[in-house]
Amino acid sequence: MNIQSKPSSSIDNVTNPDWWRGAVIYQIYPRSYQDSTGDGIGDLAGIAARIPYIASLGIDAIWISPFFTSPMKDFGYDVSDYCDVDPMFGSLSDFDHLVETAHAAGVRVLIDLVLSHTSDQHPWFKESRTDRENAKADWYVWADPKADGTPPNNWLSIFGGSAWQWNGERMQYFLHNFLTSQPDLNFHSMSVQNALLDVAQFWLERGVDGFRLDTINFYVHDKQLRSNPPLPQELRNATIAPQVNPYNHQEHIYDRNRPENLDFLRKLRAVMKPFGAAAVGEVGDAQKGLEIMGEYTAGDDLMHMCYAFEFLANKRPSALEIADVMGRVDRVAADGWPCWAFSNHDMMRHATRWEASPEILRLMTTLMMCLRGSACIYQGEELGLGEADVAYEDIQDPYGIEFWPEFKGRDGCRTPMVWKQDNQNGGFTEGKPWLPVASEHLPQSVSAQEADEQALIHHYRRAIAFRHAHKALSIGEHDEVKADGDIVYFQRVHKSETILCIFNMSGSATNFAVPEGNWNPIGDALGSAVISQLGNVALDPWQVCLAIKA
């Protein structure tokens, strides 16, 4: 393995507070990365053991999905203690060891803070639900029923049904945007806001480099509890919730995206600032995601980056769609910073979702490394893993159980990472894995690909290294991203460095007259085509052309 670990001195966030711009982030779903205890569940010590591998990919930072104390109803996105590690994942000292190991290898650590809601097992909720007078009575969103006993408004839970759950102790409803066991915190209470800022402070002092912030546009709800209007049929696109989910039928203007969100984000940024830490906020909104990104990442007192859903859609984006998305970012988030992803722990893996051949996967990876913004790679995508087919008996995700079989939930992208080919559990665990290892993944395991120079994993390494070698790609500006038929092309510029990037997004060979300039070839290792003396380039199907201005 080609280990290119950077010296730990390269991590100095305070003197380099812009470290996150253009960073390549690797998302780890801790249950499924590496088990070190034989209980079939991945853990922090397992991640620490894999840091050399992660560093060998050239990753700048890992984002670890939640590992906090939790009853695991939503697999850790239901937190019952924000300041401790769930025993199944290890302990606080395992976490400290992980941070130390990552930093020594030049890899930063982002943790996933789920601040919008807690678990119903959190002591705050247990106290809040007892009566209407207790010290935490207003820490959650409680509301009286309508006169006929029905919920106070039409808000829906993403995971199915009403967003309101009845509680007989208080004789009131409480709000939950996700599971009934994930009650929403009341961000109109300053005590709640302060308690959450303390959580951020706790982890910053423990050495984290920043946060992935879960569902940041859901933090604040409309105080007047107004019902959402219906969304016209033609606008019901399905990137956030699957098509089968009636959650898509509303325009979510009152249950999320409230203007008061910005006040909390500003406070959170102020807590992070002395540490040089960075945050990527997840903005789930199928209609206005980019506008919200523009709003939340403008200036330097809100979020650093927002996680964009644009390339998580079902269909592989065409040249025109890529140009359209990047053009919209320029219009509505010019001053902001996107973080792009093709796959994550909530979506069908893109190799399957896009029915992508190895050539398409390579081209899209190169594209991601050339786009303005930071990039998130989801564990296993560097192996080209497809969505695993998980049988109904093995399904763990409550979201999948609710909408089965039209939507099978998120387990198919959460099956264990495959490290070894000659082991039925892919080297993930010595025990019984919490979700079955997909046998079709085994030939794509890390060990199999390390041994094959042609394998996708090496392309990921080269594409990431290429981005790191050129400031124009990691932090530069771009000219207008243009589409010409199936070609999408643009230039990235930083100081005296200008890089031309041309992508043939089709299965047909084509010729393209490149923009004027004296271009020298680069990107040979990424299979780049070479521009002729006459300023033309002949592109094979799914081929890229990369060139640098002389």
Q: Is 295 in the site for Mg ion (CB under 5 A)?
A: no
Question: DSSP strand E in 332-429: where?
Answer: 338-341, 374-378
Which one of ligand BGC, Mg ion, none interacts with residue 39, CB within 5 to 8 A by kind?
Mg ion
Least distance (Å) between residue 25 CB and ligand BGC? 14
Least distance (Å) between residue 402 CB and ligand BGC? 12
What does the DSSP assignment read for 539-550? Answer: E-TT-EEEEEE-
Buried b (16+ CB within 10 A) or exposed e, 37-47: beebbbbbbbb
Tokens of residue 110, six digits: 């982002």
Which one of Mg ion, ligand BGC, none interacts with residue 184, CB within 5 to 8 A by kind?
none
Q: Which of 346, 381, 382, 411 binds ligand BGC (CB under 6 A)?
A: 346
**Catalytic site residue from 282, 346, 387, 411:** 282
**Catalytic site residue from 120, 214, 381, 397:** 214
Collapsed DSSP state (helix, strand, coil) of residue 501: strand
Least distance (Å) between residue 506 CB and Mg ion? 45
Q: Is 91 in the site for Mg ion (CB under 5 A)?
A: no
Which one of ligand BGC, Mg ion, none interacts with residue 19, CB within 5 to 8 A by kind?
none
In the region spanning residues 450 to 479, those forming contacts with ligand BGC, defined by CB under 6 A, are none
- The residues with which 447 forms a beta bridge, in sequence order, are none
120 is catalytic: no
Residues in CB range of 475: below 8 A, 6 or more apart: 18, 21, 22, 494
Q: Which of 5, 37, 357, 423 binds Mg ion (CB under 5 A)?
A: 37
Q: Is 120 in the site for ligand BGC (CB under 6 A)?
A: no
Q: What distance in Å separates the CA atoms of residue 426 and residue 441, rounded to the nearest whole number?
A: 8
**Residue 435 · residue 29 · CB < 8 Å:** no
- The residues with which 161 forms a beta bridge, in sequence order, are none
Q: Pick between residue 34 and residue 344 the one whose CB is nearest to Mg ion.
A: 34
Least distance (Å) between residue 236 CB and ligand BGC? 19
Q: Pick between residue 79 and residue 547 the one whose CB is nearest to ligand BGC.
A: 79
Q: Is 241 in the site for ligand BGC (CB under 6 A)?
A: no
Q: Beta strand 477-478 with 482-484: parallel, antiparallel or unpaired?
A: unpaired
Q: Is 285 in the site for ligand BGC (CB under 6 A)?
A: no
Q: Is 339 in the site for Mg ion (CB under 5 A)?
A: no
Q: Pick between residue 101 and residue 297 the one whose CB is nearest to ligand BGC.
A: 297
Q: What is the DSSP letter of 14?
A: T
Q: Is 86 in the site for Mg ion (CB under 5 A)?
A: no
| E strand or H helix at 478 | strand 477-478
Q: Is 178 in the site for ligand BGC (CB under 6 A)?
A: yes
**Residue 460 · residue 57 · CB < 8 Å:** yes
Q: Beta strand 108-113 with 210-213: parallel, antiparallel or unpaired?
A: parallel
540 is catalytic: no
Least distance (Å) between residue 74 CB and ligand BGC? 5
Q: Is 282 in the site for ligand BGC (CB under 6 A)?
A: yes
Q: Is 79 in the site for ligand BGC (CB under 6 A)?
A: no
Nearest to ligand BGC by Cβ — which residue?
77
**Residue 107 · residue 55 · CB < 8 Å:** yes
Measure Cα distances from 513 to 452, 517, 536, 542, 549 in Å: 35, 11, 4, 17, 16
Q: Which of 43, 74, 184, 381 binds ligand BGC (CB under 6 A)?
A: 74
Q: What distance in Å separates the CA atoms of residue 282 and residue 475, rounded to the nearest whole number?
A: 21
| E strand or H helix at 366 | helix 358-370
**Residue 215 · residue 204 · CB < 8 Å:** no
Least distance (Å) between residue 159 CB and ligand BGC? 8
Q: Which of 4, 8, 18, 39 binds Mg ion (CB under 5 A)?
A: 39
Least distance (Å) between residue 75 CB and ligand BGC? 7
Residue in this structure with the two tokens 């106290």, named with its chain if needed:
127
Residues in CB range of 133: below 8 A, 6 or more apart: none
Q: Pick between residue 37 and residue 423 the one whose CB is nearest to Mg ion.
A: 37
Residue in this structure with the two tokens 């070698």, named with its chain if needed:
469
Q: Is 186 in the site for ligand BGC (CB under 6 A)?
A: no
Q: Which of 11, 29, 30, 35 binds Mg ion (CB under 5 A)?
A: 35
Q: What distance in Å separates the CA atoms of residue 476 and residue 370, rounded to the nearest whole number?
A: 10
Q: Which of 28, 41, 286, 481 binds Mg ion (CB under 5 A)?
A: 41
| Catalytic site positions | 214, 282
- What residue ranges bind ligand BGC (CB under 6 A)? 74, 77, 114, 178, 214-215, 282, 284, 345-346
